[in-house]
Amino acid sequence: MQPVLIYDTTLRDGTQGENISFTAEEKLRIAHKLDDLGVHYIEGGWPGSNPRDMRFFKLAETIQFKNARLAAFGSTRRAGNTPNDDPNLHALLDSGTDCVTIFGKTWDLHVEQIMENTLDQNLLMINESVQYLKEKGREVFYDAEHFFDGFKDNKDYALETLTAAIEGGADLLVLCDTNGGSLTHEIEMITQEVIDYFSNSGGDTSRIGIHTHNDSGLAVANTISAVRAGAVMVQGTINGYGERCGNADLTSIIPILKLKMDCPCISDENLEKLRKISRFVSDTANMIPVKSRPFIGKSAFAHKGGIHVSAVMKEPRAYEHVDPEKVGSARRVLVSDLSGKSNVEYKAKELGIDLHAKEFDSSRIVSEIKKLEQEGYQFEAADGSFKILMEKLTDQFDPAFELESFRITIEKNKDQPCAAQATIKISVDGKNEITAAEGDGPVSALDNALRKVLGNFFPSLDTMSLVDFKVRVIDGRAGTAAKVRVLIDSRDEEQIWSTVGVSEDIIEASWRALADSFQYKLAKAKKDES
């Protein structure tokens, strides 16, 4: 299959998504990651629209990207301006990029009712803008905004707008499903018709790209359909970030092209970086990663049913459509009340727990897990606690510390916020230690006190931090006496792990999850040292 160019617009279209914003410095760090991934074009922003994007392009002036070309985005000249006196076109040139992407109106509805312009004047705006930028030595991509809606309403005029861009010298035409409402068969049929139209008129048919939005949940499928019809460039964002329901998700499009369609786009080595860059972008955007995201989500290759796990242990292809390592992911086996012996045995091997040394009965372990899940525990989301449970059930648990006691006090004075203090006494190798600490709440105070007292024995705790804390009432019918489940995510420089605690007392549940988190970290540090 012919090569396809990858054009990333995370730094521009992606930032139009709700609650997503990047500083110029953050955009530059993401651009470095995108370049390392091997994308061909990085759209840095709209320099004529805000100071932040102008600052980004200024910062990027001294950067020599290895794989990607940086593109600036903007619109055609305004009605009434000439290209030479149009501020938007000048801002594009001032950005210093070798490539510029400009959008223009393709749908006659937008031209006449939104812009209140004439159809002929719009064609002139497209043609003159492209021609002006080409005369300045730029590579020019023309984004045909609302193309598919425009084509369905007035095919002849939609094609005229493309012709205006081609005659102006556009290097590539990008067909945009801006409203995200087109269906897959429409995208493929119309893209093919556009390619045939230019082919029949003696034009270059290798100049078509595709830009889709996800308002019908079809952005990825629509992009793939356009490629099948002959599109040679795909535009999208990492994680599908973008306005409304988002843009086409490159973390799905790239592996589909590469692994399913044998389409050259990025190297095998770079494909393995896909999950890391997805996580990097979501962390930078302060967005929670979607576990169910295809290919690179935490649950993409997670197996829970015992029959599934048994089959995957024999032949991964039985329940995995691609090798997870090819996209930087990993197989995960979940343990819950739906688990069988296969889940437990696979998980034990993954966690480095030997069930066969003393011929431990995995059926008994399964029964204990199901009993605890009935009480409210949830081990599929808490690998750290599950490892400690397995070690306890197989007499392999070697605690780094033991709790002697703790006391938490909370004080509230008039309009002042609550103040929490925790005093804790622990034992390490038979030596007792006691200390106290304050925190923003009782769990925070307990975490600070435990970290403070253990720090005297274990310097490796300096690299550990708590990153998420969730509380869920298991059965609200008991009111304030109901059991609660606490899930804690912790991390160090290498990994993230999760632990769980359950109790009718939220402090007790929090302590169990917190203690497991520290035990897991210290056991890992001990193993690394040995």
Is residue 34 within 8 A of residue 10, CB to CB? The reply is yes
Pairing of strands 69-75, 99-105: parallel
Side chain identity at 513, as an amino acid letter? Answer: A
Side chain identity at 509, as an amino acid letter? Answer: A
Q: What is the set of domains in the chain, with CATH numbers?
A: 5-266 (3.20.20.70), 302-393 (no CATH), 410-455 (no CATH)
The predicted structure's pLDDT at residue 49: 81
pLDDT(312) > 90: no
pLDDT(106) > 70: yes
- Per cent of the chain over pLDDT 90 is 59
Round to whole Å and give the CA distance between 236 and 218.
13
Residue 307: count other Cβ atoms within 10 Å of its Cβ: 13
- Residue 129's DSSP bridge partners are none
Q: Mean pLDDT across the stretch 445-460? A: 90
Round to whole Å and give the CA distance between 8 and 27.
12
Q: In what order do the strands lie in the sheet with 419-428?
A: 402-411, 419-428, 431-439
Q: Mean pLDDT across the stretch 123-134? A: 96
pLDDT(180) > 80: yes
Which of 259, 251, 207 is closest to 232 using CA atoms? 207
What's the full length of the chain, in residues? 530
Round to whole Å and give the CA distance between 174 and 101.
9
Side chain identity at 383, as an amino acid letter? Answer: D
Which of 429, 354, 430, 435 is closest to 387 using CA atoms? 354
Is residue 510 within 8 A of residue 503, CB to CB? The reply is no
pLDDT(478) > 60: no
Pairing of strands 496-503, 41-45: unpaired
The predicted structure's pLDDT at residue 164: 96
The predicted structure's pLDDT at residue 162: 96
Round to whole Å and give the CA distance between 221 and 180.
12
Highest mean pLDDT among 122-131, 390-399, 438-447: 122-131
The predicted structure's pLDDT at residue 350: 74
The CA-based angle 291-292-298, given to 5 degrees, is 40
Is residue 492 within 8 A of residue 463, CB to CB? The reply is yes
pLDDT(358) > 70: no
Round to whole Å and give the CA distance between 251 and 144.
24
Q: Tokens for 270, please give them.
A: 């770079």
N-terminal to C-terminal alpha carbon distance within the chain: 50
Region of 406 please: left (phi>0), alpha (psi -120 to 50) or beta.
Answer: beta
Specify the DSSP class assigned to residue 179.
T
Q: Tokens for 402, please give them.
A: 């033991």
The predicted structure's pLDDT at residue 491: 85
The predicted structure's pLDDT at residue 392: 87
Burial class (CB in 10 A: 0-12, 13-18, 19+), 120: exposed
Side chain identity at 16, as an amino acid letter? Answer: Q
Is residue 414 within 8 A of residue 478, CB to CB? The reply is no
pLDDT digits over 393-419, tens only? Answer: 888 889 999 999 999 999 888 788 888
Looking up tokens 């400690």 gives 388
